[in-house]
Amino acid sequence: MVWQVVSGPGESEPPKVLPAPGASSSATPTPSKAEASRKPSQSPSKSASASASASASKKPQKPAGGGTGPLKGKVVVIDPGHNPGNFSHPSDINKSVNVGNGTKECDTTGTSTNSGYTEARFTLDVARRMRTILEQQGATVKFTQDGDRAWGPCVTERAQIGNAAHADAVVSVHADGSAEGNRGFHVILPASVHAGAADTRPIVGPSKDLGERIVGKFVQFTEMGPSNYVGDRTGLDTRSDLGGLNLSTVPKVFIECGNMRDSQDAGKLTSGSWRQKAAQGISAGIVSFLRR
Protein backbone atom coordinates (compact mmCIF):
# COMPACT_ATOMS: atom_id res chain seq x y z
CA MET A 1 0.00 0.00 0.00
CA VAL A 2 1.33 3.46 -0.89
CA TRP A 3 0.89 6.13 1.81
CA GLN A 4 0.66 9.74 0.68
CA VAL A 5 1.09 12.94 2.67
CA VAL A 6 -1.88 15.21 3.15
CA SER A 7 -0.86 18.70 4.20
CA GLY A 8 -2.74 20.62 6.84
CA PRO A 9 -0.28 23.30 7.98
CA GLY A 10 -2.95 25.64 9.24
CA GLU A 11 -4.10 23.36 12.03
CA SER A 12 -3.22 24.07 15.65
CA GLU A 13 -2.78 21.84 18.68
CA PRO A 14 -4.99 22.85 21.63
CA PRO A 15 -4.20 21.81 25.17
CA LYS A 16 -5.44 18.31 25.89
CA VAL A 17 -7.24 18.47 29.21
CA LEU A 18 -7.77 15.42 31.36
CA PRO A 19 -11.06 15.08 33.28
CA ALA A 20 -10.86 15.01 37.04
CA PRO A 21 -10.21 11.53 38.47
CA GLY A 22 -13.40 9.50 38.79
CA ALA A 23 -15.07 11.07 35.75
CA SER A 24 -17.70 8.73 34.39
CA SER A 25 -17.72 7.17 30.95
CA SER A 26 -20.59 9.46 30.05
CA ALA A 27 -18.39 12.53 30.27
CA THR A 28 -18.48 14.88 27.31
CA PRO A 29 -15.76 13.85 24.84
CA THR A 30 -12.78 16.14 24.47
CA PRO A 31 -13.02 17.99 21.14
CA SER A 32 -10.75 17.04 18.28
CA LYS A 33 -7.63 19.15 17.83
CA ALA A 34 -9.13 20.94 14.85
CA GLU A 35 -12.30 21.75 16.83
CA ALA A 36 -10.51 22.78 20.00
CA SER A 37 -8.17 25.09 18.12
CA ARG A 38 -11.14 27.38 17.65
CA LYS A 39 -11.78 27.56 21.40
CA PRO A 40 -9.88 29.26 24.22
CA SER A 41 -7.15 27.21 25.89
CA GLN A 42 -8.25 25.39 29.02
CA SER A 43 -6.24 25.34 32.21
CA PRO A 44 -5.36 21.99 33.78
CA SER A 45 -7.50 20.79 36.67
CA LYS A 46 -5.97 21.06 40.12
CA SER A 47 -7.72 17.87 41.17
CA ALA A 48 -5.31 15.61 39.31
CA SER A 49 -3.95 12.56 41.04
CA ALA A 50 -1.31 13.46 43.63
CA SER A 51 0.39 10.12 43.12
CA ALA A 52 1.69 11.23 39.72
CA SER A 53 3.64 14.18 41.06
CA ALA A 54 4.75 12.30 44.15
CA SER A 55 6.58 9.77 42.02
CA ALA A 56 8.38 12.42 39.97
CA SER A 57 11.84 13.69 40.79
CA LYS A 58 14.38 16.05 39.28
CA LYS A 59 17.33 13.67 39.26
CA PRO A 60 19.11 13.53 35.90
CA GLN A 61 18.20 10.85 33.43
CA LYS A 62 20.69 8.13 32.60
CA PRO A 63 20.82 7.56 28.85
CA ALA A 64 20.72 3.93 27.88
CA GLY A 65 23.81 2.56 26.18
CA GLY A 66 23.73 0.94 22.78
CA GLY A 67 24.33 -2.76 22.25
CA THR A 68 25.90 -4.77 19.48
CA GLY A 69 22.89 -5.28 17.20
CA PRO A 70 22.22 -3.88 13.72
CA LEU A 71 21.46 -0.41 15.13
CA LYS A 72 24.76 -0.11 16.99
CA GLY A 73 25.90 3.50 16.77
CA LYS A 74 22.40 4.85 16.10
CA VAL A 75 20.75 7.23 18.56
CA VAL A 76 16.97 7.25 18.97
CA VAL A 77 15.18 9.80 21.14
CA ILE A 78 11.71 8.87 22.36
CA ASP A 79 9.49 11.70 23.52
CA PRO A 80 6.65 10.40 25.74
CA GLY A 81 3.96 13.06 25.37
CA HIS A 82 2.95 15.12 28.42
CA ASN A 83 3.82 14.23 32.01
CA PRO A 84 1.67 12.79 34.82
CA GLY A 85 2.74 15.69 37.06
CA ASN A 86 1.62 18.47 34.71
CA PHE A 87 -1.69 18.82 36.58
CA SER A 88 0.11 20.04 39.67
CA HIS A 89 2.00 22.75 37.78
CA PRO A 90 -0.56 24.75 35.77
CA SER A 91 1.38 28.02 35.84
CA ASP A 92 4.51 26.27 34.59
CA ILE A 93 2.95 24.38 31.71
CA ASN A 94 0.66 27.23 30.63
CA LYS A 95 3.45 29.74 30.10
CA SER A 96 4.06 30.70 26.49
CA VAL A 97 7.16 29.58 24.61
CA ASN A 98 8.35 30.66 21.18
CA VAL A 99 8.17 27.95 18.50
CA GLY A 100 9.60 30.03 15.67
CA ASN A 101 6.45 30.99 13.81
CA GLY A 102 4.39 31.77 16.90
CA THR A 103 3.89 30.89 20.53
CA LYS A 104 2.48 27.80 22.24
CA GLU A 105 1.86 26.56 25.75
CA CYS A 106 4.99 25.12 27.34
CA ASP A 107 3.21 21.76 27.64
CA THR A 108 -0.30 20.40 28.24
CA THR A 109 -1.88 17.84 30.53
CA GLY A 110 -2.91 15.36 27.86
CA THR A 111 -6.23 13.59 27.51
CA SER A 112 -7.59 10.31 28.89
CA THR A 113 -10.09 7.58 28.21
CA ASN A 114 -13.56 8.16 29.64
CA SER A 115 -12.67 5.67 32.39
CA GLY A 116 -9.66 7.78 33.44
CA TYR A 117 -6.65 6.04 31.86
CA THR A 118 -4.40 8.98 31.11
CA GLU A 119 -2.48 9.77 27.97
CA ALA A 120 0.61 10.50 30.08
CA ARG A 121 0.51 6.95 31.50
CA PHE A 122 -0.08 5.52 28.03
CA THR A 123 2.82 7.35 26.41
CA LEU A 124 5.31 6.34 29.10
CA ASP A 125 4.26 2.71 28.89
CA VAL A 126 4.58 2.54 25.10
CA ALA A 127 7.86 4.48 25.18
CA ARG A 128 9.41 2.09 27.72
CA ARG A 129 8.36 -0.89 25.63
CA MET A 130 9.94 0.77 22.59
CA ARG A 131 13.17 1.35 24.50
CA THR A 132 13.47 -2.37 25.27
CA ILE A 133 12.89 -3.31 21.63
CA LEU A 134 15.29 -0.73 20.20
CA GLU A 135 18.05 -1.46 22.71
CA GLN A 136 17.82 -5.12 21.72
CA GLN A 137 18.55 -3.91 18.19
CA GLY A 138 21.67 -2.13 19.44
CA ALA A 139 20.42 1.46 19.45
CA THR A 140 21.24 4.03 22.10
CA VAL A 141 17.86 5.24 23.37
CA LYS A 142 17.25 8.50 25.21
CA PHE A 143 14.01 9.88 26.64
CA THR A 144 12.86 13.48 26.94
CA GLN A 145 11.27 12.46 30.24
CA ASP A 146 10.78 9.14 31.98
CA GLY A 147 8.41 10.08 34.81
CA ASP A 148 11.47 11.40 36.60
CA ARG A 149 10.64 15.09 36.71
CA ALA A 150 7.81 17.02 38.35
CA TRP A 151 6.39 18.46 35.10
CA GLY A 152 7.17 19.05 31.44
CA PRO A 153 9.56 19.50 29.81
CA CYS A 154 8.36 22.35 27.60
CA VAL A 155 7.98 21.58 23.91
CA THR A 156 11.05 23.71 23.22
CA GLU A 157 13.21 21.63 25.56
CA ARG A 158 11.81 18.42 24.11
CA ALA A 159 13.12 19.51 20.70
CA GLN A 160 16.47 20.57 22.16
CA ILE A 161 17.00 17.15 23.77
CA GLY A 162 16.77 15.44 20.39
CA ASN A 163 18.99 18.05 18.77
CA ALA A 164 21.66 17.86 21.48
CA ALA A 165 21.72 14.07 21.18
CA HIS A 166 22.31 14.36 17.40
CA ALA A 167 19.55 11.78 17.17
CA ASP A 168 19.18 9.72 14.03
CA ALA A 169 15.42 9.63 14.66
CA VAL A 170 13.02 11.14 17.19
CA VAL A 171 9.45 9.97 17.78
CA SER A 172 6.97 11.75 20.04
CA VAL A 173 4.35 9.31 21.34
CA HIS A 174 0.78 10.53 21.91
CA ALA A 175 -2.87 9.50 21.87
CA ASP A 176 -5.66 11.77 20.67
CA GLY A 177 -8.72 13.10 22.48
CA SER A 178 -11.34 13.49 19.78
CA ALA A 179 -15.04 12.57 19.68
CA GLU A 180 -16.67 9.14 19.84
CA GLY A 181 -16.70 7.60 16.38
CA ASN A 182 -13.41 9.19 15.37
CA ARG A 183 -11.09 6.23 15.16
CA GLY A 184 -7.61 5.22 14.11
CA PHE A 185 -4.04 6.52 14.34
CA HIS A 186 -2.09 9.13 12.44
CA VAL A 187 1.52 10.26 12.18
CA ILE A 188 2.24 13.99 12.16
CA LEU A 189 5.02 15.25 9.91
CA PRO A 190 6.79 18.62 10.10
CA ALA A 191 5.79 21.20 7.52
CA SER A 192 8.47 23.38 5.94
CA VAL A 193 8.90 26.19 8.46
CA HIS A 194 11.57 28.89 8.30
CA ALA A 195 10.86 31.53 10.92
CA GLY A 196 12.68 32.73 14.01
CA ALA A 197 14.57 29.84 15.60
CA ALA A 198 12.72 27.30 13.46
CA ASP A 199 14.07 25.88 10.21
CA THR A 200 12.64 22.48 9.35
CA ARG A 201 13.62 22.56 5.69
CA PRO A 202 16.54 20.11 6.09
CA ILE A 203 14.42 17.56 7.99
CA VAL A 204 11.16 17.62 6.03
CA GLY A 205 12.28 14.89 3.60
CA PRO A 206 13.79 12.42 6.07
CA SER A 207 10.95 13.00 8.55
CA LYS A 208 8.44 12.13 5.85
CA ASP A 209 10.36 8.94 5.12
CA LEU A 210 10.39 8.07 8.83
CA GLY A 211 6.68 8.78 9.16
CA GLU A 212 5.67 6.72 6.14
CA ARG A 213 7.63 3.74 7.40
CA ILE A 214 6.02 3.99 10.85
CA VAL A 215 2.54 4.14 9.28
CA GLY A 216 3.11 0.94 7.32
CA LYS A 217 4.58 -0.97 10.26
CA PHE A 218 1.97 0.31 12.72
CA VAL A 219 -0.82 -1.05 10.54
CA GLN A 220 1.03 -4.35 10.16
CA PHE A 221 1.63 -4.92 13.87
CA THR A 222 -1.52 -3.43 15.44
CA GLU A 223 -4.07 -4.04 12.66
CA MET A 224 -5.46 -0.60 13.51
CA GLY A 225 -6.53 1.45 10.51
CA PRO A 226 -5.38 4.99 9.74
CA SER A 227 -7.47 7.81 11.17
CA ASN A 228 -10.94 8.31 9.70
CA TYR A 229 -10.95 11.98 10.79
CA VAL A 230 -7.42 13.27 10.09
CA GLY A 231 -5.25 12.77 7.02
CA ASP A 232 -7.83 11.48 4.52
CA ARG A 233 -7.20 7.90 5.73
CA THR A 234 -3.54 8.05 4.70
CA GLY A 235 -2.32 7.89 8.31
CA LEU A 236 -0.30 11.06 7.67
CA ASP A 237 -0.84 14.70 8.58
CA THR A 238 1.49 17.68 8.11
CA ARG A 239 1.56 20.55 10.60
CA SER A 240 3.45 23.79 11.03
CA ASP A 241 2.34 24.73 14.55
CA LEU A 242 3.98 22.13 16.80
CA GLY A 243 7.04 23.38 18.63
CA GLY A 244 8.48 19.91 19.05
CA LEU A 245 8.64 19.62 15.26
CA ASN A 246 9.36 23.24 14.33
CA LEU A 247 12.46 23.46 16.50
CA SER A 248 13.87 20.04 15.64
CA THR A 249 17.06 19.86 13.58
CA VAL A 250 16.92 16.05 13.30
CA PRO A 251 14.30 13.77 11.68
CA LYS A 252 11.23 13.77 13.91
CA VAL A 253 7.56 12.80 13.84
CA PHE A 254 4.63 12.57 16.25
CA ILE A 255 2.31 9.58 16.38
CA GLU A 256 -1.25 9.76 17.73
CA CYS A 257 -1.73 6.05 18.43
CA GLY A 258 -5.52 6.20 18.55
CA ASN A 259 -8.43 8.19 19.97
CA MET A 260 -8.76 7.73 23.72
CA ARG A 261 -12.33 9.08 23.67
CA ASP A 262 -13.64 6.48 21.24
CA SER A 263 -14.78 3.35 23.05
CA GLN A 264 -13.36 0.95 20.47
CA ASP A 265 -9.97 2.67 20.27
CA ALA A 266 -9.89 3.00 24.06
CA GLY A 267 -10.33 -0.75 24.38
CA LYS A 268 -7.07 -1.18 22.48
CA LEU A 269 -5.14 1.63 24.15
CA THR A 270 -5.92 0.28 27.63
CA SER A 271 -4.73 -3.24 26.72
CA GLY A 272 -1.17 -4.09 27.67
CA SER A 273 -0.90 -6.63 24.85
CA TRP A 274 -2.04 -4.03 22.31
CA ARG A 275 0.41 -1.44 23.67
CA GLN A 276 3.15 -4.00 23.09
CA LYS A 277 2.02 -4.29 19.46
CA ALA A 278 1.99 -0.50 19.18
CA ALA A 279 5.55 -0.34 20.52
CA GLN A 280 6.61 -3.04 18.07
CA GLY A 281 5.00 -1.23 15.15
CA ILE A 282 6.57 2.13 15.91
CA SER A 283 9.95 0.53 16.60
CA ALA A 284 9.81 -1.49 13.38
CA GLY A 285 9.22 1.73 11.47
CA ILE A 286 12.22 3.33 13.15
CA VAL A 287 14.41 0.30 12.43
CA SER A 288 13.33 0.34 8.77
CA PHE A 289 14.21 4.04 8.56
CA LEU A 290 17.62 3.67 10.21
CA ARG A 291 18.59 0.66 8.08
CA ARG A 292 17.48 2.14 4.74
Q: Could you list the active site residues?
A: 256
Say which amino acid occupies 19.
P
Task: Work out whether strand 140-143 and strand 75-80 pair parallel, antiparallel, or are unpaired.
Answer: parallel
Contacts of 188 (CB under 8 A, 6+ apart): 211, 237, 238, 239, 242, 245, 253, 254, 255, 256
Question: What SS3 state is found at 285?
Answer: helix
CA distances from 280 to 61, 120, 134, 218 (A): 24, 19, 9, 8
> DSSP letters of 31-75?
PPHHHHTTSPPPPPPTTS-HHHHHT---PPP-PPPP-SSTTTT-E
HEC sequence for 114-172:
CCCCEHHHHHHHHHHHHHHHHHHCCCEEEECCCCCCCCCCCHHHHHHHHHHCCCCEEEE
Task: Identify the bridge partners of residue 238 per DSSP, sorted by sequence position.
Answer: 7, 189
Instruction: Report d(CA 125, CA 81) in Å as an integer.
Output: 11
